[in-house]
Amino acid sequence: MNVNGLRAAVKKGYLDWLAASPADVVCLQEVRAVEEQLPADVWRPAGWHAAYAPAAVKGRAGVALLTRREPDAVRVGFGAEEFLGSGRYLEADLPGLTVASLYLPSGEVGTERQAEKERFMAAFLPYLVRLRERAAAAGREVLVCGDWNIAHREADLRNWRANRGNAGFLPEERAWLGRVLDPAEGGYTDVVRALHPDQEGPYSWWSYRGRAFDNDTGWRIDLLCGTPGLAGQAVKAYVERAASHAERWSDHAPVTAVFDR
Amino acid sequence: MNVNGLRAAVKKGYLDWLAASPADVVCLQEVRAVEEQLPADVWRPAGWHAAYAPAAVKGRAGVALLTRREPDAVRVGFGAEEFLGSGRYLEADLPGLTVASLYLPSGEVGTERQAEKERFMAAFLPYLVRLRERAAAAGREVLVCGDWNIAHREADLRNWRANRGNAGFLPEERAWLGRVLDPAEGGYTDVVRALHPDQEGPYSWWSYRGRAFDNDTGWRIDLLCGTPGLAGQAVKAYVERAASHAERWSDHAPVTAVFDR
DNA sequence: CATTCAATG
DNA sequence: CATTTAATG
């Protein structure tokens, strides 16, 4: 769940959502804060173990993992030196599962930020493969949750034609995500899409501009990518699109999956 | 009247205040906007002629003059090249009167901004003398209105002891303002103080921090400095301290004088 | 269009 | 502590 600033999200209802959540694991992106900036009951909510990977630059990025049981291990970053302090990747080992919170750079065509996104993608795919192999050797499934900032296919955003040249739906980005999901390469499964193969969306992000949310002009860029063994256990997956504009506490909505294990 | 951002002031009631104002001339400081950023009825209110001197840097400073009758001439700046595009000085000729809107730099001890304030003061005092002489030769009185960012005497701020080392109440700043008001040098009269010689304040600025406004912990730094002929015609002078915090639309309050001419 | 930040005040 | 901008999204 990309909270678009945890401090702002708290003011608008994040804690109510969390209190009502039945989840065992919650992955946050765009926390955009450090511990000193938030009350303890936000940073370490009662009933949860919390791990954070803040960005070195104040007010930027930042990912977190909230788990009901204490992880056996927590690791920040995925090996690429450039992104170690960028607040974009955090993983934790739980019994039989490695779960990760990912915030892939959003990019902007023709800028250095797009080049950064591409460097991230280039380094991250081989890591995903190693992660899967390592986890398999340890008897663990893997679930990488977060804001991938890429819509894979035309069904994953409302206006795919108008967005063909835009960051998030570039051919090279879509191809890269295809490799992540290719059984012969990345080997991950898009859990929500696997359960809803023929649906438009469900979208998980809507621009704040115009009437994007009201018109459901959104993108499905928040993905839960799991190893096939885990993905096969998914029995339900859904996006918590807020019923009203007043209830929105981020420009993203929570994406949830339920596993029967 | 320092509006602390005309766009913010509009949202909080500036236009209501202006509509109710009986003034012939209104001097604004810290407009912090250019024409394109505001609706026409704010930038050029019905019934007023408006002249602006915006700062070259976006969102900074900016002074304005609203006059019920059209000025015979409008001039931006006071001759100092450094401050020409700084949005800090604007004057207009009306029949028998030159009126100016001034926003003197606020300064901060030990910083370049304090050095800038001092350069402004050094260049501005001789200008004030020339202005008075030129106006006298043309049969005009002078009134320089605005945020001088200096409290002249102990009665001009609530906590003068605690502020002895702070910008706005430094000995050299107070001495400089004394020279502006010295009959033998600047030759200007502090119109409000002349009518209220024995009063604490009246303050015209209160910090947004703490309870400064509620406790009237303010500063009298917004001055109307006039040539003696004009100052002698002042029959009333007052600060419109808002009755409640909700009515405040700036951290300053309007300072008004009524002249019988 | 919303969230941060830094600079200014 | 409020207003702006800039960068980011």
B238: pLDDT confidence band, cut at 50, 70 and 90?
very high
SS3 A188: coil
Are the CB atoms for A65 and A48 separated by under 8 Å?
no
Calpha distance B39→B177 (Å, rounded): 37
**pLDDT for res B167:** 95
Position A251 confidence tier, pLDDT thresholds 50, 70, 90: very high
Per-residue pLDDT band for A115 (boundaries 50, 70, 90) equals very high
Chain-centre distance for alpha carbon A63: 9
Asked whether the beta carbons of A2 and A119 are under 8 A apart, the reply is no
CA–CA dist A122, A115 (Å, integer)? 10
Q: Is A215 annotated as a binding residue?
A: no
- Residue B246: pLDDT band (50, 70, 90) is confident
Q: Which residues have Cβ atoms closer than 7 angstroms to strand D?
A: A 4, 30, 60-61, 105-108, 113, 208, 251; B 4-9, 12, 32-33, 37, 58-59, 207-210, 251
- Find the catalytic residue in A14, A89, A103, A188: A103
Cβ B65 to strand C below 7 Å:
no
Rounded (10°) angle between helices A112-137 and A171-180: 10
List the A100 CA – C1 C1' distance (angstroms).
30
Bases of chain C with protein Cβ within 7 A: 1-6, 8-9
A252 annotated among ligand-binding-site residues = yes
Question: What's the confidence (pLDDT) of residue A241?
Answer: 94
Output the six-digit token pair for A137.
Answer: 């050797």
The mean pLDDT of B169-182, rounded to a whole number, is 97
Residue A174 CB partners (closer than 8 Å, separation 6+)? A150, A151, A152, A153
Among candidate residues B103, B188, B190, B222, the one labeled active-site is B103
Instruction: Check if B103 is active-site.
Output: yes
Q: What band does A243 get if pLDDT is binned at 50, 70 and 90?
A: confident
A51 closest CA partner among A75, A32, A33: A75
With tokens 């704040």, the residue in question is A208
Task: Give the domain B71-259 fold.
Answer: Deoxyribonuclease I; Chain A (3.60.10)
Per-state percent for chain B, helix, strand, coil, to nearest 5: 30, 25, 45
What is the predicted pLDDT for the residue at B261?
Answer: 86
Nucleotide closest to A116 measured between CA and C1': D8
Is A188 known to be catalytic?
no
Q: What is the pLDDT of residues A70-84, one digit of tens each?
A: 999 999 999 999 999
pLDDT at A210 over 90: no
* Closest residue to C6 measured CA to C1′: A58
Confidence bin at A198 (pLDDT 50/70/90): very high
Q: Where are the domains of chain A?
A: 71-259
- Count of CA atoms in the C-beta half-sphere (13 A) of A95: 5
User: Given this model, what pLDDT does residue A246 score?
Assistant: 82
Residues recorded for chain B: 261
Residue A258 is predicted with a pLDDT of 98
Q: Give yes or no: B252 in active site.
A: yes
Share of chain A above pLDDT 90, in %: 94
Q: What is the mean pLDDT of chain A?
A: 95
Residue nearest to nucleotide C9 (CA to C1'): B106
* Residue B31 to residue A243: CA distance in whole angstroms: 40
Structure tokens, B225 = 């400095």
Closest CA to the C1' of C5: that residue is: A59
Q: Residue B8: pLDDT above 90?
A: yes
Residue B56 DSSP class: S
What are A129-142's pLDDT values in tens digits?
Answer: 999 999 999 999 99
- B149 among the known binding-site residues? yes
In this complex, the residue with its CA at the shortest distance from the C1' of nucleotide C4 is: A59
Nucleotide nearest A207, from its CA to each C1' = C1
Q: Can you give the pLDDT at residue B243?
A: 84
Is B2 labeled as ligand-binding? yes
Residue B245 has pLDDT above 90, yes or no: no
Q: How distant is C1' of D3 from CA of B82, in Å?
A: 24
- Environment class of B118 (CB within 10 Å of its CB; exposed 0-12, middle 13-18, buried 19+): middle
- Over range A210-218, report the average pLDDT: 91
At residue A249, the pLDDT reads 93
